[in-house]
Amino acid sequence: MTRKRLRSTPVPGTRDKYTGIDFNLGFHIRSYELDLAYRVSPNHLSGTATLQLDNYLPLASMTLDLADNLRVQKVNATGTAGTSIKVSRFRQSVGKLRISFAEEIPVDQEFTLQIRYAGNPQPLRTAWGEIGWEELDNGALVASQPCGAPSWFPCDDTPDEKAYYDFRISADNPYTVITNGEFLGRRAAGSRTTWHYRTEHPLASYLATIQVGEYETLMLSTPDSQVPIHAYVPPSRRQGFLADFREQAQMMEVFTHLFGPYPFTRYSVVVTEDVLEIPLEAQGLSIFGSNHASGKGEWNRLIAHELAHQWFGNSLGVAQWNDIWLNEGMACYAEWLWDEQAHGIPAEQSARRHYRGLLLKPRTVLLADPGTDLMFDDRVYKRGAITIHAIRCLLGDEGFFRMLRRYVAASRHAVVEAVDLRSEVLHVCRELNIPTQEFEDLWHSWLNEKSLPRFPQHRD
């Protein structure tokens, strides 16, 4: 069973109420080819983005998201079978690339845009601080959730518009470039090397990334592991990393058993030379700071959390940001499942401890729609996780994990809304003869009220 959703617009309206950014309406981008050159010392990025599109509205003009400091030098358009589409004008303002065509493109056409641009990439200032491209002391990283992708390439930066990506990125030697997808090879030319990656599954723009640094490559999986796990680590952090991430392969086995098959062909962990306050997620990889490889064994919770996002957030993407709890609540609950499976600490014990923490905090978060200021608040994470635990208490372990695997399989590599999880829970309720009103009451009290419900109890 596969549920694929494709929208005419991401959500009703013309503006994302969380990011405050206008939607790019009238078309879908099916794939991106990014042929880029990065010079580390001056932090300079240049190259060409080739976008394959189709339009569900006639287009006399269109917009894409792109930071103003990355200046577009040329835009070409080509129609089906190589027919010419004349670009009459393009301009940049307020984070948008605005393209006008000499003649309107009729509805339901396939066409290509080729955009040449260059500049010094930098983070975008947002309600959540600076996000996107970040220059490091010795390299660069990209972490774009929720709207930082335009800091390095022209895109339709909304979470439910997934596309395929082909990356060719050159950088100075001896730097390594890591990005999403399968590594297809590298080609050295003089003092630079070009790295080639391609995604096998659709990718939301905020989960596209580039990591540039001087890394040693390690393998955390064994030759007979179902999922290869690669690590890219500064040589000075090798020993600390191996100590801190020694259970990474076991986590993969546990989560694959609980959630269903790992959704991608490999998993990568990148450790930067810089300190990072929190780890960062991308599709198929996670990014940690040097402080997360100290060798003290302090970060298993976060290591499990980031791995769980490969199912919840990356394969199952949210259709809109008000449902962020589907990503973060499930990844948080996965931390507790890991402790339960590996260390014998019941998830109920973890849930109860964090429930007591919520009792001490203001009841101002509406889980179903937390708003811009609170979407990354820890209360969303913990209340979301306890909501998942409440569903487990209702269904029982056998029913809960069967439901979870159905939910993961139904929307693999697509997007979800809260209604999708709700429908899977109701399906299992009917199978187990659990009155649906019990679930409806649970769902409403945890998602649609700010007051804190009673701690969930197992059904008799």
Binding residues: 305, 309, 328
Indicate the helix (H) or strand (E) that contains 35.
Answer: strand 27-39
Alpha carbons within 13 angstroms on the beta-carbon side of residue 427 total: 14
69 contact partners, CB below 8 Å, separation of at least 6: 119, 120, 121, 122
Nearest to residue 260, comparing CAs of 314, 329, 311? 311
Out of 134, 161, 281, 306, pick the active-site residue.
Answer: 306
Indicate the helix (H) or strand (E) that contains 140.
Answer: strand 139-143
φ, ψ for residue 387 (rounded to 5)?
-60, -45
Query: 215 an active-site residue?
Result: no
Going by the annotation, the residues of the binding site for Zn(2+) are 305, 309, 328
Tokens of 308: 């769980």
| Nearest-angstrom CA–CA distance, 414 and 429 | 24
Buried b (16+ CB within 10 A) or exposed e, 139-177: bbbbbbbbbbbbbbbbbbbbbbbbbbbbbbbbbeeebbb
Neighbouring C-beta atoms of residue 45, cutoff 10 Å: 22
Note whether 231 and 156 are within 8 A (CB): no
Alpha carbons within 13 angstroms on the beta-carbon side of residue 114 total: 9
Note whether 251 and 339 are within 8 A (CB): no
Indicate the helix (H) or strand (E) that contains 440.
Answer: helix 436-447
Query: 355 an active-site residue?
Result: no
Out of 165, 197, 381, 407, pick the active-site residue.
Answer: 381
82 contact partners, CB below 8 Å, separation of at least 6: none
Residues tagged active-site: 306, 381
